[in-house]
Amino acid sequence: MTAVAVALVQVLVVALGGLLLTGLMAKVRARAEGRVGAPVTQPLRDVAKWLGRESPRATAGTALAIVPTVVVATTALAATLVPLAGVGLVDATGADALVVVFLLLTGSLALAVGGLATATAFGGMGASRAMTLSALAEPALLVAVAAFAVPAGSLSLPAMLGHALDQPLTMVSPSHVLAALALLVVVVAETGRMPVDNPSTHLELTMIHEAMTLEYGGRDQALVSLGAAMRLGLLLGMLGVLTVPWGLATSAAPLALLGGLALSALKATVLAVVIALAEVHSAKLRLFRVPELLAAAFVLAALAIVVGVVAR
């Protein structure tokens, strides 16, 4: 019962937190650039506003109609599996890291299909670019998560986090550091942040994610934006707990769980601010350099596994 409640709360927190983090990052950027910027709650208000509107659809295909729902649903399902509050709640086998990665992949695949279904030039271009990156980013994400799994010898997220909590020294091991770096790079690429994608641009030459979502409106637009925000929140949360698992509840006591969840949110917030600040100070990579960055992440993750296995 507690487990179901926690899972539902997690989805809510990821959704709300994701939207707020998106707003926060925009705000931090604005401040760092000397602007006032929109309020942090702006994405939340936008989504709420769009939710109440009808969805104009240019083409009659079913793909466009179901894509927003698929994006939100897969991300929400993934959000129930990542232990953001505590590690001792459910039987560990369900919360497999591979399942989480594949759910996220399904979401981005759906989005690309939607981009193609609009049959506009931008949608197709965005989908093509997104899939190119995805083909590199997903393996890297998989390997990076697997690298965290090496010390525990299990791909189950609660098991690996539990192991790290038991043996805090693994957190300064080279394998852990490398895996954390790799995951950071992948998360930046996955969430469509600079230096890979510039989330605040609508210039056709530079956008990736935005190009695929141009054709949505109303409720669809709301769901797609929500999905993207949830994805950001979830990945940052995952990065936070995998890198520094301290603070996660090990029992089912409600207070401990609440504390764990709050701490996870805090870690994600700190990461968001750091990434936003880093974005201000870095130029966007040219598109053909991006594969290099992701390949580097892949190599870091592979090294993390090798080192983890070798030095065990």
Partner 1 sequence: MSGLAGALVDLAAVAVLVIGVAGLWRRDLRALVGLLRVQGLALALVAATTAASEHDLGLGVTAALVVVVKAGVVPTLLVRVARRDPGAREAAPLINVPSSLVLAAALVGLAVVVGAPLHALAPGRAAALAPLGLATVLVGYLLLVTRRRALSQVVGLLVIDNGVALTTFLLTAGVPLIVELGGTLDVLLVVVVLRALLGTMRAHLGDVSLDQLRELHD
Query: Which of residues 37, 61, 218, 291 is near partner 1 by CB under 8 A?
Result: 291
Q: How far is the CB of 310 from partner 1 (least distance, A)?
A: 6
R_g of the chain computed on alpha carbons: 19
Given 1, 36, 169, 203, the residue binding partner 1 (CB under 8 A): 169
Looking at the Cβ atoms of 113 and 300, the one nearer to partner 1 is 300
Asked if 95 touches partner 1 (CB under 8 A), the answer is: no
Give the residue, chosen from 3, 66, 177, 262, that forms a contact with partner 1 under the rule CB under 8 A.
Answer: 177
Out of 178, 185, 232, 248, the only residue in the binding site for partner 1 (CB under 8 A) is: 178
Minimum Å distance from CB 289 to partner 1? Answer: 8
Q: Does 277 bind partner 1 (CB under 8 A)?
A: no
Q: Which stretch binds partner 1 (CB under 8 A): 12-20, 88-96, 215-223, 296-304?
A: 296-304
Q: Which is nearer to partner 1, 41 or 132 (CB)?
A: 132
Determine which residue in the list 205, 255, 283, 310 makes contact with partner 1, applying CB under 8 A.
310
Is residue 309 part of the contact set for partner 1 (CB under 8 A)? yes
Check the CA dihedral 222-183-76-101 and report its sign.
positive
Map the footprint of partner 1 across residues 185-224, applying CB under 8 A. none
Task: Find the shortest distance in angstroms from Cβ 242 to partner 1.
Answer: 19
| Site for partner 1 contains 299 (CB under 8 A) | yes
CA distance linking residue 230 with residue 100, whole number of Å: 13
300 binds partner 1 (CB under 8 A): yes
What does residue 223 show for φ and ψ, rounded to 5 degrees? -65, -40
CB of 288 to partner 1, least distance (A): 9
State the minimum distance, in angstroms, from the CB of residue 25 to partner 1.
27
Can residue 296 be called a binding residue for partner 1 (CB under 8 A)? yes
Considering only 1, 172, 203, 205, the residue that binds partner 1 (CB under 8 A) is: 172
Which residues are near partner 1 by CB under 8 A? 136, 169, 172-175, 177-178, 291-292, 294-296, 298-300, 302-303, 306-307, 309-311
